[in-house]
Amino acid sequence: MDAIKNSLAAIYGEKFKEEHYLRLSENMNNARREINVSRKRGWDESDVVLITYADQFSSPGESRLATFKRFFDNYLRSTFSHVHLLPFYPWSSDDGFSVIDYHQVDPINGDWDDVARLGESARLMFDFVCNHMSAKSEWFRNYLHQKPGYEDFFIAVDPSTDLSAVTRPRALPLLTPFTLADGQVRHLWTTFSDDQIDLNFASPEVLLAMVDVLLHYLKEGAQYVRLDAVGFMWKTPGTCCIHLEKTHLLVKLFRAIVDYVAPGTVIITETNVPHKDNISYLGNGHDEAQMVYQFPLPPLVLHAIHTRSARTLCDWANSLDASGGDTTWFNFLASHDGIGLNPLRGILPEAEILALVEDLQAEGARVNWKNNPDGSRSPYEVNVTYMDALNTRGCSDSTRLSRFLLAHAILLSFPGVPAVYIQSILGSRNDEEGVKRLGYNRAINRQKYTEAEIAQALNSSGNLRHETWRQLSHLINVRRDHAAFHPDSEFRAELLSEQLFVIVRRALNGEEIKAIFNLGNTAQTVLLTEGWRRELISDAVINAPEITLNPWQAMWLSKA
């Protein structure tokens, strides 16, 4: 409670009055009494997250979440400990990230009982879309109608204000004009689109309303909470309006609230920015987020496999500050968004980033661009399935799968909690029809399925979907069985050659695993020191002084 009071004082000063604090305290204490889902403290090697939409699968006559739970139980429950449900609330755009009502489940997905039933099969991760909400929401309608209590819910700015320093994630206008009930025109802050109106956290009423949302999610079983677009939460014209001090204070406040109400809840910040800014959300290691998305990992693994050189990936891996204790990484290769390029800046020369983008575009990937203050533009995101990002159109399915499994073996070897996107475990290719039908680039990696069609593919041996699901599930389950892959286990990376990359993990109990990755298109032989007795992925006994890795192959070696 001291941390909560200190954060409130630092953010609001005297604006946060005693009546505000009494309301906040009452809501927190009520939530604390209501919560009956125990949370796991910390993390271990068994924690692996599935990222998915709630409406990913459909079946006639039932809610999407009911269908998803059955599919998950049949095909994925033995592989994943957690399910990250992307926004499943009523929405108006951006595939859920323009939320109409934070407190409801979109009727097509079901209701809170459906969410609770899924929570019986896996621990749940919810999105807290805290920066903005839908222009179709009741809150925004109340603002436009000038209903008392909503006067300061959104951010009105004089359009003549100099906002040139503001960091822009989109090549779209920052301010959008709206007309109030009395005919006034106000220009409101819209960081992402004219349907996503930024909330005004400078208002204590907005804070109380959004904390109420957070408390609701905790009561409904959220054990991991993802803070979406969190870096933009506080606005001060004349600054960059990203990663401001009061944004960090808000994250610290959210952390203190969940620690008080539901100890063990994990706060994860989503900040697709360079590494130094990203890890700043870990605070002092105890007072802010417990996890940050490891955004450089997806493009660096992709770059390594494209160039058949692990040098940059290895150098970057060894530069990471050690995670462990109260913080760790949230590692992933693919997600509902594209592959972010901004985290590469400062790690790779711009010419190499542009070369990678050109290679991907030539094979069908889409690219999103951002405007720079000097009037130029830069690519900030590539939209593509990770399967197709790793390969060319002319590759055989066996090559596709080899490169794909290699990339995921690297992912699963890194310290941190790994997350796998639903399209990845399903072996999905680019959804060109989806892009044409829906009209936006990110649709290329957001295909939805009937339960019948995807079950048929997974149950039919020999096709790319079946083999991807079978072999990636096996890889994940091998990882979950070994303490050396605990997020906090010792980690080091080294190069045996340009194409041979090694990660060594060592657990507190002494278990050691050497992961070797061949990023080349030719077989590579590696001499072994004594003691390496088993290759874990194939469960093969090692009885020779050397091993040979096929092109695009990974091996996990154990002394046990």
**Catalytic site positions:** 228
- How many Å apart are CA 215 and CA 30, to the nearest integer? 9
DSSP annotation string for 4-52: HHHHHHHHHGGGS-HHHHHHHHHHHHHHHHH-------S--TT--EEEE
Among 213, 45, 232, smallest CA distance to 128 is for 213
Residue 233 DSSP one-character state? S
CA-based angle 539:545:549, to the nearest 5?
55
Number of H helices, E strands in the chain: 17, 25
Q: Provide the token pair at 530.
A: 């004594």
- The set of residues, in sequence order, having a beta carbon less than 8 Å from that of 260 and lying 6+ positions away, is 1, 4, 28, 32
The full length of the chain comes to: 560
- How many Å apart are CA 40 and CA 19, to the nearest integer? 34
Whether the CB-CB separation of 129 and 144 falls below 8 Å is answered with no
Give the Cβ contact number of residue 212 at 10 Å. 16
* Helix-strand-coil split of the chain, %, nearest 5: 35, 20, 40
- How many Å apart are CA 357 and CA 90, to the nearest integer? 34
Helix, coil or strand: residue 177:
strand
CA-based angle 264:265:271, to the nearest 5?
135
